[in-house]
Amino acid sequence: MSLRVASRIAARGMPALRATTQRRSIVMVPKLDSEAAMQAEAVQQIRARVQYQKELSKLHEHPIEEEVAEMWRWVNLTFVVGIPIVLLSAFYSAFFDEHPHRFEGELPEYMNVRSKEYPWECGECNLFDMPCWQKCRAAKK
């Protein structure tokens, strides 16, 4: 628990947490002592964290009806705004957007640059380049 959070809790008047607030880093390590004392301090720290989470959850509680109303608001927003946008963009892409395709034939030299061969038997061929694979296998026979 950071010092800022601890001071806010103390200012709110939460006595159960005020006594357990300590300035420590995020990793809570008990002070070096006997094993029983260290274990008791670790348990105390865990209980303080649990109590702090309970206090936070009490501050942010709201009825389930609010949650359901918020959920339906976003469901309606999805159907009214989201789905029409997706459909219109798919329609535009299918009918009005140009789809440039890769040209057939040999690639120019600058487009076929590799730093090393592929790890399969025909190292110069792309994985799904069937004409190249057929030429490579014919050359090996």
- State residue 13's pLDDT score: 53
User: Distance between CA atoms of 44 and 115, rounded to whole angstroms?
Assistant: 61
How far apart are the two ends of the chain, measured CA to CA in Å? 73
- State residue 85's pLDDT score: 96
Q: What are the angstrom distances between the C-alpha of 118 and each of 29, 63, 84? A: 52, 60, 44
Global pTM value:
0.34
- State residue 56's pLDDT score: 85
Instruction: Please name the amino acid found at residue 121.
Output: E
Q: List average pLDDT for each run of 10 residues in the chain, which is 141 residues long.
A: 54 51 56 83 90 85 88 95 95 86 77 83 88 92 81
Contact present, 136 and 122 (Cβ < 8 Å): yes
User: Distance between CA atoms of 33 and 97, rounded to whole angstroms?
Assistant: 72
- State residue 20's pLDDT score: 53
User: Distance between CA atoms of 80 and 123, rounded to whole angstroms?
Assistant: 52
Residue 6 CA, chain-centre distance (Å), reads: 30
Domain positions in the chain: 3-59, 113-140
